[in-house]
Amino acid sequence: VIWYPIPIMRRVPLRGARALGRATRRSRLVPPIYIIVVFFVIPLLLLGLSSLFMQKTVGFTVLGSFLVIGVILGIARFIWWWKKQEGLQKCLACLDRRTDMNNTMKTLPEDMQFLKSKVSLLAEHTGLPEDEEAGDAQKGSDGTADDVAAENEEV
């Protein structure tokens, strides 16, 4: 009812839904954060501010006025950061980093198995012992400490 009568206003909820959908595609954290902020934080903030003005005392009214000014300045600063200081790009880059890290953590076991198989193939091809530490322990027990030190210097 609010958005329909004015043709330009019809685009506002559609653009908002598209932006929320794009952000959700980047990270699954966006919908819960959106719900918490829109349905809990903002209403509780407005309820708290309105209750300060209903107390009918000068002290609470002055405190409410300062808090309203602070909230307005905070919103203005956030808009400035979002639009002029590339806040949108910073948030999107952070969401992309988190998504990449989550994807990496999901595929890490398979990647480790792949790397282990490649290392074992490489060890077979070069003739190196399977466990390097076991090979060093055998050298140390057969030879003297000076022999091991000399071999390490040659390498």
Report the alpha-carbon distance of residue 5 to residue 8 in Å, rounded: 9
Whole-model pTM: value is 0.60
Confidence of residue 132 (pLDDT cuts 50, 70, 90): low
Confidence of residue 35 (pLDDT cuts 50, 70, 90): very high
Would you say 34 and 20 are in contact if contact means Cβ atoms under 8 Å apart?
Answer: yes
Report the alpha-carbon distance of residue 128 to residue 4 in Å, rounded: 75
Reply yes or no on whether the pLDDT at 113 is more than 60: yes
Question: Measured between alpha carbons, how far apart are the two ends of the chain, in Å?
Answer: 79
Report the alpha-carbon distance of residue 49 to residue 52 in Å, rounded: 5
Q: What percent of the chain has pLDDT over 70?
A: 83
Would you say 52 and 64 are in contact if contact means Cβ atoms under 8 Å apart?
Answer: yes
